Amino acid sequence: MRVLGIETSCDETGVAIYDEERGLLANQLYTQIALHADYGGVVPELASRDHIRKTAPLIDAALKEAGLTAADIDGVAYTAGPGLIGALLVGSTIARSLAYAWNVPAIGIHHMEGHLLAPMLDSHRPDFPFLALLVSGGHTQLVKVEGVGQYQVIGESIDDAAGEAFDKTAKLLGLDYPGGAALARLASDGHAGRFAFPRPMTDRPGLDFSFSGLKTFAANTINKLVKQEGELSAQSKADIAYAFQEAVVDTLAIKCKRALQQTGYKRLVIAGGVSANQQLRENLAQMMKKLGGEVFYPPPQFCTDNGAMIAYAGMLRLAKGQHSGLALDIKPRWPMSELPAIEG
């Protein structure tokens, strides 16, 4: 089975083609970073309009990259949620229209299931069951994964997601959008030990997260330094970035260790945009080595939103006979527990 995947949940337009036997045949991606940079964040209406402009040309480019025509496509997968409602409508409308015109089945894919399965795009892929840490700008979740569609969320953020906290703290430091990656680069020049940030909710039982307090702590630290220095020095910014990143990474690692001990699993999957953070990868790799387990990540190009993860997830479900009806059914909010399992 050969599936065209379309991702338009937020500020990246992704189109890919995945072949059940040959693997990934094409992967096209357009990012809207420059479009939203002047606003310091994603503007939903602008995002939707840009998806309208970019999706069809990217589909043509993907078919050309794969050396295929529309007649070679066996199914169409698209992100049905969660995400920005306007952006989701663009991708789902185009996908449903193509599927109808090409007389092939279509299926709406859960955006976070796409991220969760993204490590399967690598040759070194985890076996089931495993623990997944989904960590991005919109989500921070610990998920017990027994198979495709067999998901149990056992921990999640009660306020800001980790990636959102990264972006907000970066903005406080005067960094350009998108701030998370910029903050991580700045942290590499920081000194350890100058600032001590809290590790929220690690002093109590449970697997939930809270990162809004870290952002507030960073804001208070910045305000205090501004009163002392008049203007933050480059080193002070780097030291704050270092302390903030260290606190987030430590918090994620502590909760992952608890969840692994609770489930008894020895495999940990990290996915979502923040999974590209090098400090997080290094800390979790060291932790899993001590625990006698193994950690898995998506290939770097598949950490952020992309069409390949949607095409892959769609292939798995379409191959088992699952498909969506003709009516558009997008879900800006969509619990993973509602997804049907794939047997076998």
Beta strand 75-81 pairing with 106-110: parallel
Tokens 């795009």 correspond to what residue? 121
Report the chain's terminal Cα–Cα distance, integer Å. 17
Q: Is 143 annotated as a binding residue?
A: no
Residue 305 marked in a binding site = yes
CA–CA distance, 247 with 213 (Å, rounded to integer): 11
Which letter does DSSP use for residue 101 in this model? H
d(Cα 51, Cα 30) in Å, to the nearest integer? 9
Is 277 marked as binding a ligand? yes
Helices (H), ranges, 67-161: 85-102, 111-117
**Measuring CA to CA, which residue among 91, 186, 93, 82 is closest to residue 136?**
82
136 in a known ligand binding site = yes
Q: 223 a known binding residue?
A: no
**Strand extents, DSSP E, the chain:** 2-7, 12-19, 23-31, 75-81, 106-110, 130-135, 140-147, 150-156, 267-271, 294-296
In DSSP terms, 12 is beta-bridged to 31
Q: Is 137 annotated as a binding residue?
A: yes
111 is in an annotated binding site: yes
> Residue 326 has which token pair?
């003709």
Nearest CA-CA partner of 138 in 107, 115, 108: 115
Tell me: is residue 163 an annotated ligand-binding position. no
Residue with tokens 């993860």: 309
State yes or no: 134 annotated in a binding site: yes
DSSP string for residues in 214-268: HHHHHHHHHHHHHHHHSS--HHHHHHHHHHHHHHHHHHHHHHHHHHHHHH---EE
Helix (H) or strand (E) holding 159: none
How are strands ordered across the β-sheet holding 12-19?
Answer: 23-31, 12-19, 2-7, 75-81, 106-110
Summarize the annotated binding site as residue ranges.
111, 115, 134-138, 167, 180, 277, 305
Summarize the annotated binding site for substrate as residue ranges.
134-138, 167, 180, 277
Summarize the annotated binding site for Fe cation as residue ranges.
111, 115, 305
